[in-house]
Structure 1
């Protein structure tokens, strides 16, 4: 990854809404089958590992996968600090051939929306299907077409924190039901 993404990893947690992790954890625990044995869970696009740690604390054997090694470095430190044994892998959800087999796969924070088109989304679903055990469960979230078509075009958000400032603008894209998010960060060194 480039130097810019490394900087982004350093402010990622500050821009995320912490309450979402509680909601994703509660939703997952309500919808994943209960078992007496420790179930293997793969978290796609795990970022800095906050959700991975929560799943591990809930009793899952967790593997977190992310494109960014910088995010995974933060995730590893977070897991160690929380005294959780979590495997973190650098990789792309478009190729899970080396990830292993899992009882559950999750992909939150609208991360599937980062795929370039519906073909890539289908490829992710095929990769997840191939890495799930029989009767495995895949839970993910995505933006609604209403949000894509009505809320995002023209959306603008600005944040000024002590160590960084952020400008987030969204624009309608050429393909139907798609947007471009432009995030600009000013980070104090």
Structure 2
């Protein structure tokens, strides 16, 4: 798994605000109508989504593997005059975080797990840290996205103080991809330094996710696609799972 050590510097610049709007809208449509509900946002990154949930009235805690991401999240929450605990931790071990009414894990963060064993362990951890009737919502890349869209994908960003080259390739495991990222980041002296990162993602067939969720204890699972309340199709790019304990 990546720590996003350099990625954090430019992460917000390359993420579209409209994605956060869509994650927020989808969540609010499917969250239980519980007052002062406790919400855990896994892989919270720089805190933008956590702040959206806090402003919507939830008692939010954010968890992420990257200290650098969390430092940005804390500064962002402080600037917004919001009290949001941000915890450095691994979603494979949620013992430090307590029990929640809702858990989210967006931006295909589950796809960064090494294999389906780890995915199943994450699901079990989340189930154990949900109240009865609690809801877990997450999204992943579809197999169409990893197999047909990503291989050969290239994205280039050229801003005033940084430049980025992002290329994606098919990996060896089924439904897996490698993202190779090169950053050129300007320092205070005006010089640009090069950083390289490799991000590996893997997804699975819908049936695999269903089995892993059932093994974790989830009995009610609904699947949607591409931020809409519709069933996945052969060309859906992002799958959403709504799971109830």
Indicate whether the TM-score tops 0.5: yes
1:120-158 deviation digits (Å, cap 9, x = unpaired): 111111111111111110001100000000001111111
* 1:1-189 correspondence runs (5 A): 5-35=4-34, 37-189=35-187
Question: How far apart are the structure 2 equivalents of 1:148 and 1:63?
Answer: 30
The secondary structure found in structure 2 opposite 1:181 is: strand
Deviation at 1:7, TM superposition (A): 3.4
Deviation at 1:96, TM superposition (A): 0.6
Who wins on radius of gyration, i.e. which is larger? 2
TM-score normalised to structure 2 length: 0.74
Question: How far apart are the structure 2 equivalents of 1:122 and 1:166?
Answer: 34
Gaps spanning 5+ residues in structure 1: where? none
The secondary structure found in structure 1 opposite 2:168 is: strand
The secondary structure found in structure 1 opposite 2:20 is: helix
Which residue does the alignment assign to 2:223? Answer: none
Deviation at 1:117, TM superposition (A): 1.0
Deviation at 1:5, TM superposition (A): 4.3
Question: How far apart are the structure 2 equivalents of 1:114 and 1:162?
Answer: 30
Question: How far apart are the structure 2 equivalents of 1:5 and 1:33?
Answer: 32
Question: How far apart are the structure 2 equivalents of 1:90 and 1:50?
Answer: 16
Question: How far apart are the structure 2 equivalents of 1:55 and 1:95?
Answer: 23
The secondary structure found in structure 2 opposite 1:141 is: strand
Question: How far apart are the structure 2 equivalents of 1:112 and 1:12?
Answer: 18
Question: How far apart are the structure 1 equivalents of 2:146 and 2:9?
Answer: 28
The secondary structure found in structure 1 opposite 2:184 is: strand
Runs of 4+ aligned structure 1 residues displaced above 4 Å come to none
TM-score normalised to structure 1 length: 0.95
Deviation at 1:47, TM superposition (A): 0.4
For the aligned residues, what is the CA RMSD?
1.3
Which residue does the alignment assign to 2:242? Answer: none
Q: How many residues align?
A: 186
Deviation at 1:46, TM superposition (A): 0.3
Decide which structure has greater strand share.
2
The secondary structure found in structure 2 opposite 1:183 is: strand
Question: How far apart are the structure 1 equivalents of 2:72 and 2:5?
Answer: 10
